[in-house]
């Protein structure tokens, strides 16, 4: 049995006391009494905000995967080949990953809201451009904006959700996030397929209309979740790596006390000044303060341009952290497999022996979505139960980030089996049942592997949620881009 002392708990990232000696769940991060702490929001307020975050995750995933529904029409009416469309898919992945990187410092310096609203603007531009495609260049470069729009769902969404819920709820929350991604990824092409049966250009027009309505809802309905809990609690629970704080505490227990108590021996005038500052900072924010376009970081200097560059470089350096690389490869593999079977569907299932239409190819996403739903329940809700049980059963209430990784074993067999089953049966021209079973197995891997990989990263480095997820986004979308071109090249010579 692995034993950890309280001192080790403070020193080892990812090692926490999840269950107390009284078998009660310990709340991590440590809650405050502030009315502005998102952890203290009412359930209705939390669920509304989480619902908006999950909605934009679904919506941007859908718009990023709906271009293929108009693929056959582009070939027929504009002479834009599937090879050009695969190039557009590669541009899409690059835009998703690297705009996530370039936009991440904005999130820490200016608040979460600004990134969501910017991404909706990119989505509007990309959708309008898609609806007006006339040349090969249009078909490729509209995806640059569509991809940039999904970047808010690659890192900021996870950060927002982590600011609303405690660590023991993380698996379930990430399961819902992956499910939202799956719904957009698999149902988006289905809906777009039916729209294209009327006019493929209406795929873009519909997305633009929905984006405009979403922008209005988000501007007035999405509250800012930035909260610097280090001001009220000595321990760092800011939810991101750059806290801007460096404290030396003689008494280890003093770091858990409110700042007013820590500063009690100090000069009375300083104490009164600090208490007055905290009182102003801790008063409930008004509605208009909560929906400000920009919420500057407490340590923002000037416009923050120099800080932007520093944070950008520091984020890049974190890509080499083992947990970041592992989670990025796990999620990147799922995007790579997504490119594989979508390319196989587009290049093979329109022809003999199936002769599928755009709508029928879109329906092929249903078995994948069913598998993803099962995978999300397994990798999300069930993983939280498993982690709590494992901590009580084997470590006296202590939990380690690696505990979730045991649940990846089934996916290690089911996911490859699904890929091989779909690939082989498609190559041999089998009827739909066996290929669809393969898609269901692949969907299961999509649902649970990404969930467990990202939950492991968030558990291992809880102070760098945003930066870690940026690394995952860059790695996984780079892999997906490479794999998209590799699949296309392989099929040319196969």
d(CA 345, CA 361): 7
Q: What is the pLDDT of residue 392?
A: 85
Q: Considering the domain boundaries, does residue 267 fall inside one?
A: no
Work out how many domains the chain is built from and give that number. Answer: 1
In a domain, 109, yes or no: yes
Predicted pLDDT of residue 30: 80
Is residue 29 situated within a structural domain?
Answer: no
Predicted pLDDT of residue 490: 55
Over the chain (494 residues), what is each successive 10-residue block's mean pLDDT? 48 69 74 87 95 97 90 89 88 95 94 96 97 95 96 93 87 89 89 88 97 98 87 46 36 41 44 49 85 91 93 92 92 83 81 85 89 93 90 84 91 94 93 94 92 89 88 91 71 50
Whole-number pLDDT of residue 494: 53
Asked if residue 11 is part of any domain, the answer here is no
Residue 148 domain-assigned? yes
Q: For 73-112, what is each residue's pLDDT tens digit?
A: 898 899 998 889 888 988 999 999 999 999 999 999 999 9
Residue 254 lies in a domain: no
According to the model, what pLDDT value does residue 60 have? 97
Question: Considering only CA atoms, which of 203, 234, 214 is closest in space to residue 139?
Answer: 203
Contact 71, 87 (CB under 8 A): no
Domain range for residue 92? 38-226+313-493
CATH of residue 428's domain is 1.20.1250.20
Q: What is the pLDDT of residue 491?
A: 53
pLDDT score at 235: 42
Residue 330 lies in a domain: yes
Do residues 255 and 235 lie in contact, with contact meaning Cβ atoms separated by under 8 Å?
Answer: yes
């Amino acid at each position: 049995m692995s034993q950890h002392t309280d001192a080790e708990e403070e020193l080892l990232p990812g090692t926490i006391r999840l269950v107390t000696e009284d078998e009660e769940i310990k709340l991590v991060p440590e809650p405050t009494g502030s009315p502005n702490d998102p952890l203290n929001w009412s359930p209705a307020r939390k669920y509304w905000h989480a619902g908006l975050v999950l909605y934009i995750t679904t919506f941007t995933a859908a718009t990023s995967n709906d271009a293929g529904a108009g693929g056959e029409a582009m070939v027929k009416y504009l002479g834009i080949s599937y090879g050009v469309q695969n190039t557009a898919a590669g541009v899409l992945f690059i835009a998703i990953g690297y705009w996530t990187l370039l936009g991440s410092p904005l999130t820490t310096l200016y608040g979460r809201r600004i990134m969501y609203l910017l991404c909706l603007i990119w989505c509007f531009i990309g959708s309008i451009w898609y609806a007006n495609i006339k040349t090969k260049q249009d078909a490729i470069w509209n995806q640059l904006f569509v991809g940039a729009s999904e970047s808010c769902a690659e890192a900021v969404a996870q950060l927002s959700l982590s600011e609303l819920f405690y660590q023991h709820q993380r698996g379930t929350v990430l399961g819902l996030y992956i499910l939202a991604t799956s719904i957009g990824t698999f149902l988006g092409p289905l809906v777009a397929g039916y729209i294209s049966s009327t006019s493929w250009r209406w795929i873009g027009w519909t997305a633009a209309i929905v984006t405009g309505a979403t922008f209005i809802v988000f501007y007035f309905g999405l509250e800012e979740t930035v909260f610097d809990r280090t001001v009220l609690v000595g321990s760092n629970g800011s939810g991101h790596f750059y806290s801007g704080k460096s404290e030396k505490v003689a008494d280890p227990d003093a770091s858990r006390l409110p700042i007013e108590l820590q500063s009690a021996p100090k000069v009375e005038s300083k104490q009164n000044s600090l208490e007055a500052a905290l009182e102003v900072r801790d008063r409930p924010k008004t509605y208009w303060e909560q929906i400000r376009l920009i919420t500057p970081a407490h340590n923002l200097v000037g416009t923050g341009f120099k800080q932007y560059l520093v944070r950008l470089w520091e984020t890049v350096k974190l890509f080499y952290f083992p947990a970041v690389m592992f989670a990025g490869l796990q999620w990147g593999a799922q995007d790579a497999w997504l490119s594989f079977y979508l390319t196989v569907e587009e290049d093979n299932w329109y022809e003999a022996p199936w002769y599928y239409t755009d709508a029928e190819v879109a329906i092929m996403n249903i078995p994948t979505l069913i598998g993803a739903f099962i995978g999300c329940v397994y990798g999300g809700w069930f993983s939280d139960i498993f982690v709590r049980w494992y901590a009580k059963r084997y470590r006296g209430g202590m939990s380690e980030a690696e505990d979730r990784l045991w649940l990846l074993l089934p996916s290690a067999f089911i996911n490859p089996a699904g890929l091989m089953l779909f690939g082989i049966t498609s190559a041999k021209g089998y009827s739909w049942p066996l290929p669809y079973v393969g898609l269901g197995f692949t969907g299961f891997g999509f649902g649970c592997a990404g969930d467990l990989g990202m939950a492991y990263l968030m558990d291992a480095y809880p102070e760098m949620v945003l930066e870690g997820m940026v690394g995952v986004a860059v790695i996984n979308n780079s892999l997906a881009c490479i794999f998209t071109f590799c699949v296309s090249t392989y099929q040319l010579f196969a």
